Amino acid sequence: MPRNNLSREQIVQAAVGLLDTEGVDGLSMRQLGSRLGSTAAAVYWHVKDKEEILVLAAEAVWGEVQLPDLCESGWRAAVTTMANDLHAMTLRHPWLVPAMGFHPLYVPGRARHDDHLLAICQAAGFTGREAEQAMKTVLTFVLGSALVGNKGGPAESTGDDLNFGLRAILDGLHDRLVGRP
Amino acid sequence: MPRNNLSREQIVQAAVGLLDTEGVDGLSMRQLGSRLGSTAAAVYWHVKDKEEILVLAAEAVWGEVQLPDLCESGWRAAVTTMANDLHAMTLRHPWLVPAMGFHPLYVPGRARHDDHLLAICQAAGFTGREAEQAMKTVLTFVLGSALVGNKGGPAESTGDDLNFGLRAILDGLHDRLVGRP
DNA sequence: ACCTGAACACCGTTCAAGT
DNA sequence: ACCTGAACACCGTTCAAGT
């Protein structure tokens, strides 16, 4: 007979909440269980292990990032919008990028985000491997900002730093597109 | 009476070796002690806690990164050399960047590296806050590459990706220097 | 001064047992 | 089907006790 106190949705929601407030160290199976008014072992009926919870939580937060319409404005504006939206997400969920260092969190939501950014680069004029490299350059910089801005070095307004670097990258990519030395 | 089987140097050396081969999860105080022919508790006489071991290990590996002579060649070549050298270090010690997500590892060796990169940006013509932002852009991209290239997405030859993005950044910074739209 | 052994509180995970 | 309680093996850290 199902008691159904727990569901996958509730578990993921509680996990994201715990991660946001307590950090990755704060997410323990016992903490998670007690926050759900249950026990650690009960969680294991719904979920394989802690790794899967992290994967589900990652999928949830990647889903928060909006994917702008492809043919709305220029590729620079589209890339800037995606980068700032992703950056805002990493600020809301500061555990995600650090966790990526330890767990393979290449979830479908991440893949959709990457594909969308790649499509923008292709629409800008990049083809084949160059399009992937352009996409990866932007992505690496934004995710790197979540590391460098968070725990390393003197804290500053990361929004300014992000858009300074982003503009440099976009200018450099534009130079390559128009064949400027 | 000192038995002196253990020293800080030996502990750090063993810790780096353990981190390089087993990853951050492989570094436990008991493992570290037994690798040194001793015990976990013995390590605690030489070191405050595990965090301090990570700080010492980080200092050791940042010290491996060479700081090129400032007035040897152009600023682009100097930045490229530093970026590739740092990138090579993150490949030798893949635990460092992930660990930066969880522990404040702003060690003196890191500070020296940042200062040197900043000096190159200033020599290139950037002043004040812009110099710091230019430095941080390069640093963020290289450290981000250690995250994105390691665990996320399809693995490719990261050396090519690094220098593609680096060139875009340098081109963009150059545009800003010469006031090009 | 330097190290050992045992202990404490925690953790992820499993599993028989209950309903 | 869904959950509980207890257990296992591990962990970081402490601390009296040894030399």
B152:A104 CB<8 A: yes
Instruction: Inform me whether the pLDDT recorded for B155 exceeds 60.
Output: no
| Closest chain B residue to A101, measured at CA | B98
- Identify all chain A residues contacting B148, using CB atoms and an 8 Å cutoff: 136, 139-140, 143-144
- Identify all chain A residues contacting B97, using CB atoms and an 8 Å cutoff: 101, 147
B172:A167 CB<8 A: yes
pTM across the whole model: 0.95
Q: Determine the residue among B141, B161, B162 to mutate to test chain A binding: the one whose Cβ has the most chain A Cβ atoms within 10 Å.
A: B141
Pick from B99, B100, B172: which is nearest to A168 by CB?
B172
The model's pLDDT over B86-123, given as tens digits with 9 standing for 90+, comes to 999 999 999 999 999 999 999 999 999 999 999 999 99
Instruction: Quote the minimal CA–CA distance from B148 to chain A in Å.
Output: 6
Q: What percentage of chain A reaches a pLDDT higher than 90?
A: 87
- Identify all chain B residues contacting A156, using CB atoms and an 8 Å cutoff: 132
The model's pLDDT over A117-160, given as tens digits with 9 standing for 90+, comes to 999 999 999 999 999 999 999 999 999 999 997 554 455 556 89
pLDDT at A181: 76
B140:A145 CB<8 A: yes
Instruction: Inform me whether the pLDDT recorded for A73 exceeds 60.
Output: yes
pLDDT at A5: 81
Q: What is the DSSP string of chain B?
A: -------HHHHHHHHHHHHHHH-GGG--HHHHHHHTTS-HHHHHHH-S-HHHHHHHHHHHHHTTS----TTSS-HHHHHHHHHHHHHHHHHH-TTHHHHHTTS----HHHHHHHHHHHHHHHHHT--HHHHHHHHHHHHHHHHHHHHHTTTSSS---HHHHHHHHHHHHHHHHHHHHTT--
Instruction: Quote the minimal CA–CA distance from A138 to chain B in Å.
Output: 8
B168:A137 CB<8 A: yes
Instruction: Inform me whether the pLDDT recorded for B158 exceeds 90.
Output: no
- Identify all chain A residues contacting B142, using CB atoms and an 8 Å cutoff: 144
Instruction: Quote the minimal CA–CA distance from B40 to chain A in Å.
Output: 22
